[in-house]
Structures are given as structure tokens and as C-alpha cells.
Amino acid sequence: MSSLATPAPSRCPLCGEANRCAMEVERSTGVKQPPCWCTQVKFEHAVLERIPPQARRLACVCRACATRSLSNK
């Protein structure tokens, strides 16, 4: 992913894979979704710091990237 490209809201800004964000699905389709998986996960600060500044608050991190640092401990 180019560091200058605007991230797609449905793609993880770290790996580019689908983030499966229920809130984005609901926003884009208008179909009510159950609570997103991300509301049940505590994101480590180190994960959030890896998001490029121009992508912050524009796309959700996927579950794999959000939990990768937890499984490496």
C-alpha cells in the first residue's frame, strides 16, 4: 500500500486485508450489524502507533493485526 494512498475504510491500514468492520458494513450497506469484534478487544498502543499518520481514524485495523502483538508475547 502506498504511504500516500488514502486507505479504503474496509481494508486494514497495516496489512491491506479486509478488516471485517461491522460498523463499516452497516455504514456502507445500511443493514444493521451486530456489535463489531473490535468493541471487545483492547488495542495495544504499539499496534495503533504502527498506523501511518495519514491513515489514522480512516480505516479499522483487522483482527489479525490487532491481536498479532498479543500472540507474540
Query: In the prediction, which pLDDT does 70 show?
Result: 57
Among 32, 37, 31, which residue's Cα sits nearest to residue 12?
Answer: 37
Task: Tell whether the model's pLDDT for residue 26 goes beyond 70.
Answer: yes
**CB distance 22 to 36 below 8 Å:** yes
pTM of the model: 0.75
Q: How confident is the model at residue 54 (pLDDT cuts 50, 70, 90)?
A: confident
Domain ranges of the chain: 22-71
Q: How confident is the model at residue 69 (pLDDT cuts 50, 70, 90)?
A: low
Query: In the prediction, which pLDDT does 72 show?
Result: 55
